[in-house]
Amino acid sequence: MKDVRNIGLPADIGYSAYVPFAQGPGRGMELAVRTRGNPQALLSTMTAALRRIEPALLMERAQTMQARIDESVAPHRLNLVLLGLFAALALLLSAVGLYGVVAFAVRQRTQEFGIRMALGARPGNVLLLVLQQGLRLAVVGLIIGIPAAIAGSRLLTSLLFGVSATDPAVLASVALLVTAVALAACWIPAWRATQVAPTEALRAE
């Protein structure tokens, strides 16, 4: 038998035992019904049927299982949404910063690129050279960031359930995302470096 989270998804699973209701009657009970159709549409029909069976029955809360799950995880979902927004903002700022650094480096190396193209280098070679410079910065960031993320994963443990804060698949996906953003940030400066005419580059100060 699988574990049952009868209090909420974030709650720890404790020890439970199923006993007949006659052996341990309480003041209330819960009824769960599985349906193949739309549970929201069936909810009113079930409520009306129970009212006909027992008109004096007090039903405190009739809701779908999905609504109950959403209610249970709502506070944690809000925190994760806020963290996600801040993470997206941090990623955007890092992309803008990387773009500025690479663009400045391209301007400083204008003569070098002009000499390379004058000696026969293809635009693709210059493009690859600039992208490699940006990727090196991204790799350094990943080398520092991934261990820091693993070290700070304990802060996220209380907000997660069903997944580990140090899941290798998640870390690999984040690394690929950061690499893709770094390539996108370096692409425009790299493309501009290939558009400079060798004669103009050689005359640049």
pLDDT digit string (tens) for 44-82? Answer: 888 888 888 888 777 777 888 888 878 877 777 787 788
Domain ranges of the chain: 73-203
Phi/psi of residue 52, nearest 5 degrees: -70, -35
Is residue 136's pLDDT more than 80? yes
What per-residue confidence (pLDDT) applies to 85?
92
Its pTM stands at 0.62
Asked if 154 and 165 touch (Cβ cutoff 8 Å), the reply is yes
What per-residue confidence (pLDDT) applies to 14?
62
C-alpha 56, offset from chain centre: 48
Confidence class for position 125, pLDDT limits 50, 70, 90 = confident
Render 30-99 in DSSP notation, one character per residue.
------SS-HHHHHHHHHHHHHHH-TT---S----HHHHHHHHHHHHHHHHHHHHHHHHHHHHHHHHHHH
What per-residue confidence (pLDDT) applies to 160?
66
Burial of 202 (0-12, 13-18, 19+ CB in 10 A): middle
Burial 70-109 (b: 16+ CB within 10 A, else e): eebbeebeeeeeeeeeeeeeeeeebbeebbebbbebbeeb
- Tokens 């992208």 — which residue? 131
Is residue 119's pLDDT more than 80? no
Asked if 125 and 116 touch (Cβ cutoff 8 Å), the reply is yes
Average pLDDT, the chain: 79
What per-residue confidence (pLDDT) applies to 161?
65
* Separation CA 203–CA 196 (nearest Å): 11
Kindly state the percentage of the chain with pLDDT values over 90: 1
